[in-house]
Chains A and B, each alone.
Chain A
Amino acid sequence: MENYLSLFETYDVPAAFWVNIQLSFWAAIWALAIGTVLALFRISPIPSLQWFGAAYVNIFRNTPLTIILAFGFLGLFSVMQISLASDLNLSLFRIAIVGLALYHAAFVCEAIRSGVNTVPLGQAEAARAIGLSFLPAARLIILPQAFRGAIAPLGNVLIALIKNSTVAAAGSVATESSGLMKTMIEFRSDLVIPIFLTFALGFVILVIPIGLLTTWASRKLAVAR
């Protein structure tokens, strides 16, 4: 037990989880923005935009995240020499956020589209009848109701995103928790299982409140019909 507690003096576990939270926070914001635009594309009346939205979702949803993030490092950073900040590690951190955001945008798009499906067709017809064109109708009538119907699936995407943020290690963000876990296992091979359980528990603690919150919010905010 003393051995185990000494781990926390040597290694800053909360700081590693903080990196995961930061990755998830920025990636979630970007994914929400990109995903909303994609969802608009997919429900728009313009076939080329529908096609683009569908193609994006099918490509990114079906590509392993590890490959996207490894491409961020090997492709964008190493070969194309793209840099998003003058500081090397900040640049890699941002590239990882881009990778996480692009990947999860596909899932956000599908979550919002499922929310759109909860909006009765009559709402869209009524919007059209009072003279609203596609974008105002989407902004004022469809999306506000769709988001309220999509809270539970969006919460699921957020939970997946938080756990997936550990894959950022493939994109060289080594300060995050799975990187620290590797370091701890390398140096304290006598405590492999306690170390592993510590990180598993850490993620459970992070994720459970989000699950509870989104379930509560999805009930509270559901549009009564």
Chain B
Amino acid sequence: MQKTRYAAAAVAAVAALTLSACGGGDSAESEGGESGSAETVRIGIKFDQPGLGYDEGGSYSGFDVDVAKYVANELGYTEKQIEFVEAPSANRENLLSNSQVDMIFATYSITDTRKETVDFAGPYFVAGQDLLVPTDSDIAGPEDLEGKNLCSVTGSTSAQKIKDQYPGVQLVEQPGYAECVTAMGGGQIDAVTTDDIILAGLAAQESNAGKFKVVGNTFSEENYGVGLPKGSDMCEDINAAITKMIDDGAWEEAITSNTEGADYTFNAELNPPTPAPCA
């Protein structure tokens, strides 16, 4: 008898924990708006990508963040109503399909496989795979990498592209770009590869200022889109907001201010992009 009572209490305790875990999200949402009735918008961004989406102890900076703020503003949300959520690459589809975020601005390339599970607005930027090299390096493109040590992130599209197209390159895969850049600072790595704007953000970091340069010879096209849950009705409005941002100059200003000090110019042939029609 005693035993069953303990068991019942334990079950109840576990159930309570589970329930309160579910409730957490809701209460956070209702706290967000100042007026009480106003809703918040949850936007997924990277927290660890300087120049794009970067957590600076509670405040967020970067190009993705600036575009997200502009778009949210156009959709009728004030900055206080935005709740930024970390969206690591591998979790982006799940965050959207579980409705844990309303939209994602996180270096999210539009691809056909992804379109099967999520919708996209945009693109708001066309990035391309490029190389980051020490300032005094004479590497001018992927052809010069034969026999050199190149670093990229484990499992990334950039790493796969190198394996498929440049098999002569010695590829080192690290969990993050920061580790790659540290290793390049030590001299064992000759170049780091991923999308040009990510590289520019890394090079623009204070601790790296003046040490590295973006080669500026892109060899892929990545259309950064706004990730939306499947069947979302926000696509048209977001595209309108992106177009407006490009037209009034805020778009270009956001790029320049976030890559300052990196000696980087975006690919002007492909940028600024025209948002694709919504599905």
Contact = CB atoms under 8 A, between A and B. Distances in A.
B175 A170 contact: yes
Interface in B170-213: 170-175, 179, 182-183, 185-189
Interface in A48-88: 70, 73-74, 77-79, 81, 88
A172 B172 contact: yes
B214 to A, nearest CB: 21
A182 B155 contact: yes
Contacts of B182: 74, 78
A31 interface: no
Given A182-B155, A190-B116, A74 B183 contact: yes
Contact of A190 (B113, B156, B175): B113
B172 A188 contact: no
Given A78-B182, A187-B113, A189-B113, A88 B157 contact: no
Interface residues of B, number: 30
Interface in B81-119: 89-90, 92-94, 113-114, 116-117
B160 interface: yes
B154 interface: yes
B246 to A, nearest CB: 28
Contact of B170 (A89, A179, A183, A184): A89
Q: Which of A81, A182, A189, A192 has the most B CB atoms < 10 Å from its CB?
A: A189
A88 B154 contact: no
Contacts of B267: none
Nearest to A175: B173
Task: For the complex of A and B, list the 10 residue pairs with the smallest distance between their C-beta atoms, beginning with the closest.
Answer: A182-B155, A174-B173, A78-B186, A183-B155, A78-B183, A88-B170, A189-B93, A79-B186, A179-B154, A185-B90
5 contacts: A70-B175, A88-B172, A174-B172, A174-B173, A187-B160
Interface of B: 89-90, 92-94, 113-114, 116-117, 149, 154-157, 159-160, 170-175, 179, 182-183, 185-189
Interface of A: 70, 73-74, 77-79, 81, 88-89, 92, 169-170, 172, 174, 179-190, 192
